[in-house]
Structure 1
Amino acid sequence: MGIIDFRMRPLYGGYQAMEKNGTVDRFLSGLNCEKTASMKEKSLKLLVKEMDEAGVELAVVPGRQSKGTFISNEELFEIGRAYPGRFEIFPLYTPENPEESLKEIRTYIDTEGIKGVSIEPGFGNSLLFDDEAYEPLYQLLEEQEMILMATFSGSITPVLDPSLPGRFQKIAKNHPGMKAVAGHGGWPWVREMVCAAFFAENIYLAPDLYSVNCPGWQDWRDAAAGLARDKILFGSSYPLCSVSRAVENVKEWGLFPEDERKIFRENGAGLLGLK
């Protein structure tokens, strides 16, 4: 059984803007990571090949609809249909149109069998996690016992806001039936988020690229070996980091085999209802 990558954005459709606007090059440079063939050619076929070579069986693909990068939910599902069983699509909920967006999400539950939904506070809006516009979605996810994938790093507000970990903790506490995943792990508030995940049964952390050559990466390693071994999910955040480099990064942590298995597969498989 292969690795589960809990955060990936294939360079397809609207996501190709990430390469065109320089976002990919900026992060690859910061992480000292080389651009792969799939990034250069924006090729799904080559990406799947790179996943195979790195031992990644399945990748979760969240949405984004902001000024710089806009991919429709339908384009996300085109990725999944192109390679059945390789991509788990988490469509984006847009709080600007809550009724219409919630209706769309309900449709995807029935027609696509989705297991989670993504949100991006601060991208294309000025909202935070605990804004009332997200409440209808949280209620639905709790009713369905589904996964929330929230983009969460220091970039989601115009200036760094130290209240963000508490706000994320609040929505998880208020909706215990919802599985709340912090994409990017809530970096740079690494220790605060590890604490939140340790004490909340339904909070999970996907530090992805921010565990690669970033300040605080040692805390992710220590958490994976201890307090948060059951709560950390592997993620590459491709195309901002190559799949192979992300896998190598976790292997370099020197975890016990049983803890490495949790990070690479077991924690994610448990959330997704896989064996």
Structure 2
Amino acid sequence: MVIDFRLRPPFGGFLHVGMYADKAAADFYADNIGLQRSPSARQESMELLLQEMEENGIDMGVATGRVGHRKGNVPNDEIIRLMKEYPGKFVGLAGIDASDPKEGVREMHRVCVDGPLKGVVLEPGALERSRYVDDARLYPFYAECERHHIPVILMIGGRAGPDRTYSDPQRLSRIAFDFPEVNFVAAHGCWPFVQEILGICFYQKNIYVCPDLYFFHLPGQDDYIRAGNFYMQDRMLFGSAYPFTPLSCVHEFRESFRPDVQDKLLYRNAAALLGL
């Protein structure tokens, strides 16, 4: 079994945001890590995507709403529609507008506590007026997630904001300490601060790491592998970052790790985190 923790399908609002609309930017990521985007991504075909999922042994993709992002939105109701139209193939996470935490609490209740979505995603560095993940204005929202045992996925790594300070692992460490009952996921793995985030995770057990595309052929890959083979084997997640990378990258990810931890990294960790 394989769960791809970061798979944005060619469906609904996804087609109108940068990952599909800006093809040059999408090619930039793939080219720089020596991979090629898949036919389904280039042709924006759900039918081809489902074929590629089957061919590469990916049983389920985690699709994330996007609200408040400066490059476009994917409404949470479209994620719910995706799950209904392709039952069993996708699990959804709710996009939350980090500029409006009060509305974020209401939305989290609507689609997570009282709805089918399994967690929330915040991308505060990508707002028109960027915020850091440890911005005090987000604390009431994190507290509500803690109250309802909702996992929080944060875009923190890569181009998470206007400069590299938006990927600083110390900011994630701070909120993980302040909300010890929340499971936080570092989407993009805090790259390029790989050793820093992995050092923090050695002590802070409520932080998960999903390096996604920054796992492949970039500085820090060996460090992710060492951690995943040992103390991070219960808290590292596979994510392809499709449509930026082809789903076939799952094979390189699998083969990078010891056989006895592969099932955790590819399936069991994500399933437990999302309550599947």
TM-score (norm: length of structure 2): 0.92
Indicate which of 185, 190, 193 corresponds to 2:194. 190
**Residue type of the alignment partner of 1:60:** V
Q: How far apart are the structure 1 equivalents of 2:112 and 2:254?
A: 35
1:233 is matched with: 237
Q: How far apart are the structure 2 equivalents of 1:214 and 1:86?
A: 30
Indicate which of 118, 141, 146 corresponds to 1:137. 141
Q: How far apart are the structure 1 equivalents of 2:57 and 2:273?
A: 20
Structure 2: 5+ residue runs without aligned partners? Answer: none
2:181 is matched with: 177
2:118 is matched with: 115
Q: How far apart are the structure 2 equivalents of 1:207 and 1:44?
A: 25
| Conserved 8 A contact 1:60-1:87 | yes
Q: How far apart are the structure 2 equivalents of 1:272 and 1:104?
A: 18
SS of 1:186 mapped into structure 2 = coil
Give deviations 1:233-255, integer Å, cap 9, x for gaps.
1111111111112x1221331x2
Q: How far apart are the structure 2 equivalents of 1:133 and 1:79?
A: 31
Matches within 5 A, 1:80-159: 80-124=83-127, 125-159=129-163
How many residues are aligned here? 271
Give deviations 1:83-130, integer Å, cap 9, x for gaps.
112211111111222222321211112442322100002112310011
SS of 1:167 mapped into structure 2 = helix
SS of 2:132 mapped into structure 1 = coil
The alignment's C-alpha RMSD in Å is 1.7
Q: How far apart are the structure 2 equivalents of 1:259 and 1:212?
A: 19
Give deviations 1:205-241, integer Å, cap 9, x for gaps.
0011111111111111111112312211111111111
1:261 is matched with: 263
Give deviations 1:179-210, integer Å, cap 9, x for gaps.
10000111111111111222112100001111
2:11 is matched with: 12
SS of 2:152 mapped into structure 1 = strand
**Are 1:221 and 2:225 matched, yes or no?**
yes
2:74 is matched with: 71
**Residue type of the alignment partner of 1:107:** R
**Residue type of the alignment partner of 1:73:** N
2:37 is matched with: 35
2:49 is matched with: 47
| Conserved 8 A contact 2:66-2:73 | yes
Kindly tell me: are residues 134 and 45 of structure 1, through their superposed partners in 2, closer, same or farther at Cα, counting changes over 3 Å? farther
**Residue type of the alignment partner of 2:216:** V
Kindly tell me: are residues 144 and 162 of structure 1, through their superposed partners in 2, closer, same or farther at Cα, counting changes over 3 Å? closer
State the shift of 1:163 in Å: 7.6
Greater strand share, 1 or 2?
Answer: 1
SS of 1:71 mapped into structure 2 = coil
| Conserved 8 A contact 1:19-1:25 | no
TM-score (norm: length of structure 1): 0.92
Q: How far apart are the structure 2 equivalents of 1:209 and 1:4?
A: 15
State the shift of 1:151 in Å: 0.7
Structure 1: 5+ residue runs without aligned partners? Answer: none
**Residue type of the alignment partner of 1:203:** I
Q: Percent identity?
A: 32
| Conserved 8 A contact 1:108-1:114 | yes
Q: How far apart are the structure 1 equivalents of 2:233 and 2:101?
A: 35
Q: How far apart are the structure 2 equivalents of 1:76 and 1:109?
A: 12
Q: How far apart are the structure 2 equivalents of 1:176 and 1:44?
A: 39
| Conserved 8 A contact 1:154-1:161 | no
Give deviations 1:159-196, integer Å, cap 9, x for gaps.
22288211101111111111100001111111111112
Indicate which of 200, 203, 210 corresponds to 2:214. 210
| Conserved 8 A contact 1:141-1:148 | yes
